[in-house]
Chains A and B, each alone.
Chain A
C-alpha cells in the first residue's frame, strides 16, 4: 500500500500536476490514510446494515415468522430506516452519568473496532498496511475496545451497564488467550505473522486444496479453527455467550443507557468486530482470497501490472512546467479501457469476493447459532475458556510446532544450528 501511494505520488500525480508531486511524503501518506479510512468506515456501516437485516430475516426464518419485510422490497431498506431513526433520535444521558466518559466510551469502542481493518486484507493486494506483525496487531486492538466497554459500563451510573460491561470485559480478556493461541498454531505452521503471507500459502489444488482448516494440512489447525470460532463467539458476545447483554437479567448490558447515534456506534462496532473475527478466521484457516477458478485470471509472469500501465500512460506528454497536464490525465484514464488493466482487477475482485463470501458464511453461522442455542451461565463461560479451550489450544500450538519441526528438514537443521 505504501509503495503504491509513493508510486501514485511520484509517477502519476507529479506528472499530471507537478505541484502535487512536490508535497512531502508524509502529507501524501496522511491523505491516503484518510482517503483509505473512509471506505473502511463505509464498509463497517454496510456490514452493520446488511447484517441487522440479515440477522432479523434469518431469525424470522428459523422461528417460522417473517421478520422485517415492509420497507422496500422484502424489507431490504429496513436498516436504512433504522439508521435514520437512530440519527434523528434525541441525545439523552442519565442524570447521574459521568458525562466525559459517557461520551468518550462509544468512540473508543468504535475506534477499537476500526483499527484491525488496517492490517486486515480484503484481497491479495487490497490491504491498507501489510504489516509484518499483522496477526499480533489484529489481536492487540481488541484491548482498546475492552477499555471502551468498561468505560461504557461505568459511565452511565447504572448497575445493568456495570454488570454487562464487567462481564463482557472479563469474557473478552479471557477468550483473547485461547484465540491468540489458536492463531499461534497457524503462525507456527505458516512461519510468519503477516496475514497476507499466511493467506498466500493456502492456495493448493483448485484454490481449495491447501486451506489450513483441512485435516491433511494440519489436524491441529482444524481443531484450532473450531476453537478460534468458539472463542470469537465469546469475544463478540454472541450467543451462547451473550450474557453480557442478557436481556432477561441485564436489560441490554453495557449499552443499556445509550440511545441514538451513540448506540449506533456500539452497534456498528459490534458487527465490525464480528466481521473481523470471521475475516481473520477466513484468512488464517479458510484460505482467505483463494477459491476455484481464480487462478485463470492470475497475471502471467511478464504481464504488465497496473502500476506499469499507469506509468506508461502518464508518459504521453512530459510536464513542461504547466500547472496541470491534461494529456497525462487522459492517458491515465485511458487505462480503464484496457483488458490488461481489468484482468488483474478482476483477479483481485474475485479474491475479495471469496474472502468476503467465506467471512459472511461464518457470520451466517454465528447468527444461526444465536437463534439455535440457549444462553449459558457466566461460570460456564469462564470454565469453557480456561479449562476446555485453553488446554486444547496449548495442545494445538505444541502439535503445530512439532509438525513444523518434524516435517521440515531445513527448519530442523536451522534449529540445530541457530545462533551466530
Chain B
C-alpha cells in the first residue's frame, strides 16, 4: 500500500514535471514572439531542475537553477530585450522552408526515438544518494581533478574573450 503510494507520488511528480518541460519547450519552439519563447524556456529549465530533485540530486538541481536560470537565461533575455523591436516577431521566411525544417526535425526525432526505444541501455538499481554535496566535492578533487582544474582554463579563455569583445574601442 505504502509502496504503491511511494511510486504513485513519484509518478505523479514525474508526469507533472514532464508536462511542464515538454509543454514549455513546445511553447518556446512555436511562440511567435521571441520574448515569449525565452520566457517559456524558463519553465523548461526549471523543470529540468525538478527532475534532478526528483532523482535526489539536490546539489545538481540547485546548480541547474543557478547556472541555467540565473545565468544563461538571464543572459539570453538581456540579448533578446536589447535587440531591436523589429526582431520581436519571429518571421518564418517561407512556407517551403517551414515544411523542410519540420520534415528534417521529424526525421531526426524519429531516428532518436528509434534509438531510444531500441537502445541496449544499462540498467542500474536506483540508489538515493546520501550527502550528494560531499561526494561530489570529493570526486571533483580526486577522480575528476584534472577536469575540474582544466575547466578554469576554459572559463578563463571565455572571460578573456568576453572582456575583449565588449571593450570600448580604443580610438
Chain A positions within 8 Å of B, measured between CB atoms, are 22, 24-27, 98, 101, 131-133, 136-137, 139-144, 146-147, 150-151, 153-154, 162, 166, 169-170, 173, 176, 193, 418-420
Contacts and interface: CB of A to CB of B under 8 A. Distances in A.
B2 A147 contact: no
B66 A418 contact: no
A132 B133 CA distance: 7
A400 B66 CA distance: 24
Contacts of A24: 1-2, 5-6, 8-9
Interface in B1-41: 1-2, 5-6, 8-9, 35-36, 39
B141 interface: yes
A418 B134 CA distance: 13
Interface residues of B, number: 33
Contact of B141 (A143, A144, A418): A418
Contacts of B133: 132-133, 136, 193
A173 B138 CA distance: 29
A179 to B, nearest CB: 12
Contacts of A173: 70-71, 74
Contacts of A166: 78, 81-82
Contacts of B46: 144
Nearest to A180: B66
A141 B65 contact: yes
Question: Looking at chain B's contact residues, is the secondary structure mostly helix, strand, loop, or mixed?
Answer: helix
Contacts of B36: 98, 101
B78 A169 contact: yes
Contacts, number: 90
B142 interface: yes
A176 B131 contact: no
Contact of B5 (A26, A133, A162): A26
Contacts of A146: 70, 74
Interface in B121-171: 131-134, 138, 141-142
Given A132-B59, A151-B39, 13 more contacts: A24-B9, A26-B5, A98-B36, A131-B58, A133-B59, A140-B65, A140-B66, A141-B65, A143-B71, A147-B74, A169-B78, A170-B78, A176-B70
B101 interface: no
Nearest to A23: B5
28 contacts: A24-B5, A25-B5, A25-B6, A26-B5, A101-B36, A132-B131, A133-B132, A133-B133, A136-B63, A136-B66, A141-B65, A142-B70, A143-B69, A143-B70, A143-B74, A144-B46, A144-B65, A147-B42, A147-B77, A153-B81, A154-B81, A162-B81, A166-B78, A166-B81, A169-B77, A176-B70, A418-B138, A418-B141
Contacts of B65: 140-141, 143-144
A68 B63 CA distance: 44
B9 A144 contact: no
A108 to B, nearest CB: 8
Contacts of B82: 166
B54 to A, nearest CB: 12
A419 B69 contact: no
B55 interface: no
Contact of B9 (A26, A131, A170, A419): A26
Given A101-B36, A162-B81, A418-B142, A140 B2 contact: no
A98 B81 CA distance: 14
A27 B4 CA distance: 13
B132 A132 contact: yes
A146 B1 CA distance: 43
A300 B9 CA distance: 40
A195 to B, nearest CB: 13
B62 interface: yes
A61 B131 CA distance: 50
Contacts of B134: 132
Contacts of B131: 132
Nearest to B65: A140
Interface string B66-103: 10011101100110011000000000000000000000
A150 B77 contact: yes
A418 B145 CA distance: 12
A35 to B, nearest CB: 18
B5 A147 contact: no
Contacts of A133: 58-59, 62, 132-133
Nearest to A108: B42
A176 B58 CA distance: 20
A-B pairs, top 6 by smallest CB distance, nearest first, are A143-B70, A24-B5, A26-B9, A143-B69, A140-B65, A140-B62
